[in-house]
Structure 1
Amino acid sequence: MSYTVDRRGLLRAAGAGAAALGLGGALASCGSDESETATLTWWDYFTLDNFQPGMNRLIRDVEAGVPNVRIQRRTFPFAELDRQITLGAISGERPDIAIVDNVAMNTLGGSDLLADLTGRVEAWGQADQYYEGPWDSCRIGGKVLGIPNNSNCLALYYNTRMLESAGVEPPTTWDELASAAERLTSGGRFGLALSAIKSEEGVFQFLPFLWQAGGDLDTFATDGATALSFLHDLIAKGSLSESCLGWTQQDVNTRFMNQRAALQINGPWQIPTLKQADFDWGVVALPRDQEAATCLGGENWVLMAQSENLDKAWEVLEYTQRPSVLVPYLVSFGNLPAREDLADRGAWASDPALRLFLSQLPLARPRRYGRGYADASQAISEAEQAVLTGSASPSAAARTAAAKIDKALSGR
């Protein structure tokens, strides 16, 4: 997950939208031969109050629609869930079902903790309904180890009045972005805001630049240097604040809301807050260099391999993918569907900003790099910090990071 914001505004609109679409309520599942109720343990990290109505509704739908099932839910802080699942291999305390950040598949998917769903998915026959990026995030080592729960990605927001006043069109290329950011910088206002914080949140925002340069982690020494140079030049020209090194994506949106940045890179989870802005704004695809790219965010469903209720847990996952269940859930969370066949259902069908993000999902790349990704991500973050603070040149930082990345991923 790459967001932590309050979505109460969207929740109110979502309830009305779902009711209007007639998508509420659960569908009864086919009959079952089981005579006893199975209690499934369900773990996730959706702890904020504004997530609870949607999650509670989903669980009620599941319990009403899947025969002989009760859900026992437990929540953890975002940073703790993966560790608790891993520790469960030792303690024996593990869930039957979990909703995990899709980047966690790098670590969890490289162990024997997750159930192999390949055969079940083939029998189910709905894999081709999903966007390629979200579905690929569930495929590890030739196996299907999860089902997408929801999706998001990054795009470029702009302040309409500021661009019109400066005679600037929304940029579509790196050259146009650099030029627009420079022209839009004035006084205490920067042309562009983005997050370069030393965490996965910052790496989430950096990777599109690497991919747009035509590279990937295995070409970081060269293409990473190109991406780092581009960001360094933005700071050198005063178009991007060096403070971005400490900004979360929420901080970035606050700068944009306060009109201290004319452009921002961010995700669809900021839309509920932006709808309260007292200025007009729009959103376009991330500007491209050698190619177009954005980074895939969101969560996946996973099942534990040692679950004593694996068949019933799979029934639950399959049930959550029914449009009558999935659409209200996604709308309540302010998320986008990972399923292409739901593109014309829900709030995203009529909201231009959400539709822009939805249109980018086919380009959204998962961070699917294997068990060493956490170390590779740290190396990327260190390189970006070094370059943007001026303590290392882009080429030197990229070479140093490339050596660490190669070592981290050598076990792939």
Structure 2
Amino acid sequence: MKSAFTRNRPLATAVTALVGLPLLLAGCGASSGSAGSENVTEISVMDYYNNEPDKSFIGDALNSCAAEAGVTLKRETVPGKSLISKVLQQSSSKTLPDVLMLDNPDLQQIAATGALAPLSDFKVSTEDFAPGVLSAGTYKDKVYGLAPTVNTIALFYNKDILAKAGVTPPATWDELEAAAAKLTEGDQYGLAFNANPTYEGTWQFLPLMWSNGGDEKNINTPETTQALQLWTDLVKDGSVSSSALNWTQADVNDQFLAGKAAMMVNGPWQIPALSKQPSLQYGVVKIPVREAGQTAVAPLGGEVWTVPQTGNKARQAKAAEIVSCLNSDKNQMSMAKARNTIPSKTSLAETFAKENPKLATFTELVKTARARTGQLGDGWPAQATKIYTAIQAALTGSASPGDALKQAQGQ
């Protein structure tokens, strides 16, 4: 999850007004209900990969798939923050693209409007995808989108700093607190994370909540309170900078790169920046669980590719070929390697981890990673807001973790 709606952006845009929005079907200048025998020569695509190198990586994959399908592409890339509003405008003006990329937490909101076609209508295979990946692309038991690659978050640590302090990478909360305290000295904090008042802050908190048995349907529980107490204690005792309340994940990475944080919570999209500093030796482990034996559960990030309901069956069928091609084994592996993401198919995971050892921990986490919309569907944004509101209240000291969660849940 990056901080500026570029690559691997798991940050959802809260557009609760989408639900129930009437959809006017048609698309791309073609008449509604065009015959399936139409000779389609061009397909339109819209995504938010408007920055390099992802713009080219994705563009190359799209062009390759278009060639296989026998069409040319008319591609539009837009800033991530503008994508959902543009989708709404296009649905009402009958100009939806043939292929649409969505950040996975946004899919349910868009599917609820009737803007997307179930992939089963075009016999697109959904076999072998990790459970969380399918959940992220599913609305009311139908799969509307598939992600060729995904991502999640884990704990990065500076090998040299930990070795000098005689600290081993923590696996439990007690070990994390002890390590963070011991690694804090001078202008160096033991740990850095993002607790800002956005969905990104919620995203970084979810591994603690979920791994401890917390549930997004009701955050006013002992399990979630324990998780928030840990975050609060780390800031209160000085092991984490109070600036975490405003940091983005990019800021967190900057702290780690500068040696001002011995450990950080972040995702694989930071690896290119870390690799530019050869003197930095780092490792990656799962975010610690409260007690040994618990399963580490992380949130699933990544983008899904969909077929909008344009009303033109021939174009939709050709668009489905593009979506299917993007999700082929070959393309999943090549895009994952190029973009420091993880292939979505479980059969590819072991091979990918061996070939890309820096991503092995993330590959393992994806097996049990959860879609944020898996339980609440299009109700997720509202609950995500409650979570980061409670985090802010607890970390600023305006309420205890328990009271902060109780107040936020009641809002």
Report if TM-score (shorter chain) is over 0.5. yes
Residue 300 of structure 2 is aligned to residue 296 of structure 1: yes
Letter of the structure 2 residue corresponding to residue 204 of structure 1: W
Which one of the candidate residues 356, 364, 369 is aligned to 1:364? 369
Q: Give 2:39's aligned residue.
A: 36
Deviations along 1:174-210, one digit per CA (max 9) or x if unpaired, are 1111111111111111100001111111111011111
- Change in Cα spacing, 1:274 to 1:175, as seen in structure 2 (3 Å) is same
CA distance in 2, matches of 1:275, 1:49: 17
CA distance in 1, matches of 2:360, 2:300: 16
Q: Give 1:15's aligned residue.
A: none
Deviations along 1:369-392, one digit per CA (max 9) or x if unpaired, are 222222221121111111111111
Cα deviation for residue 153 of structure 1 reads 0.5
* SS across alignment from 1:363: coil
Cα deviation for residue 358 of structure 1 reads 0.6
Which one of the candidate residues 348, 366, 379 is aligned to 2:386? 379
Q: Give 1:114's aligned residue.
A: 116
- Change in Cα spacing, 1:255 to 1:5, as seen in structure 2 (3 Å) is farther
CA distance in 2, matches of 1:113, 1:215: 33
CA distance in 2, matches of 1:4, 1:90: 27
Q: Give 1:104's aligned residue.
A: 106
Cα deviation for residue 82 of structure 1 reads 1.6
Q: Give 1:65's aligned residue.
A: 68
Cα deviation for residue 57 of structure 1 reads 1.3
Consecutive unaligned residues of structure 1, counting only runs of 5 or more, are: 8-32, 405-412
Deviations along 1:155-192, one digit per CA (max 9) or x if unpaired, are 10111111112221101111111111111111111100
Cα deviation for residue 87 of structure 1 reads 2.5
Residue 89 of structure 2 is aligned to residue 83 of structure 1: no
Q: Give 1:51's aligned residue.
A: 54
Cα deviation for residue 55 of structure 1 reads 2.3
Q: Give 1:314's aligned residue.
A: 320
- Change in Cα spacing, 1:197 to 1:184, as seen in structure 2 (3 Å) is same
Cα deviation for residue 34 of structure 1 reads 5.7
* SS across alignment from 1:93: coil
Residue 97 of structure 2 is aligned to residue 95 of structure 1: yes
Deviations along 1:296-316, one digit per CA (max 9) or x if unpaired, are 111111111234111111111
* SS across alignment from 1:240: coil
Cα deviation for residue 95 of structure 1 reads 1.3
* SS across alignment from 2:127: helix
Contact 1:295–1:364 (8 Å) recurs in 2: yes
Residue 251 of structure 2 is aligned to residue 248 of structure 1: no
Deviations along 1:226-249, one digit per CA (max 9) or x if unpaired, are 221111111111111110011111
CA distance in 1, matches of 2:88, 2:209: 31
CA distance in 2, matches of 1:268, 1:314: 29
Q: Which runs of 4+ in 1 moved over 3 A?
A: 1-7
Normalised TM-score (structure 2): 0.86
* SS across alignment from 1:113: coil
Residue 274 of structure 2 is aligned to residue 274 of structure 1: yes
Contact 2:6–2:50 (8 Å) recurs in 1: no
Cα deviation for residue 259 of structure 1 reads 0.6
* SS across alignment from 1:264: strand
Cα deviation for residue 5 of structure 1 reads 9.8
Q: Give 2:333's aligned residue.
A: 327
Cα deviation for residue 286 of structure 1 reads 1.1
Cα deviation for residue 89 of structure 1 reads 2.4
Q: Compute the RMSD of aligned alpha carbons.
A: 2.0
Residue 147 of structure 2 is aligned to residue 140 of structure 1: no
CA distance in 2, matches of 1:274, 1:131: 28
Identity of aligned residues (%): 33
CA distance in 2, matches of 1:149, 1:87: 27
CA distance in 2, matches of 1:329, 1:335: 8
* SS across alignment from 1:343: helix
Deviations along 1:260-295, one digit per CA (max 9) or x if unpaired, are 001101111111111223121111111112542111
Cα deviation for residue 37 of structure 1 reads 3.2
Residue 288 of structure 2 is aligned to residue 283 of structure 1: no
Letter of the structure 2 residue corresponding to residue 216 of structure 1: D
CA distance in 1, matches of 2:55, 2:218: 42
Letter of the structure 2 residue corresponding to residue 300 of structure 1: V
Consecutive unaligned residues of structure 2, counting only runs of 5 or more, are: 8-35
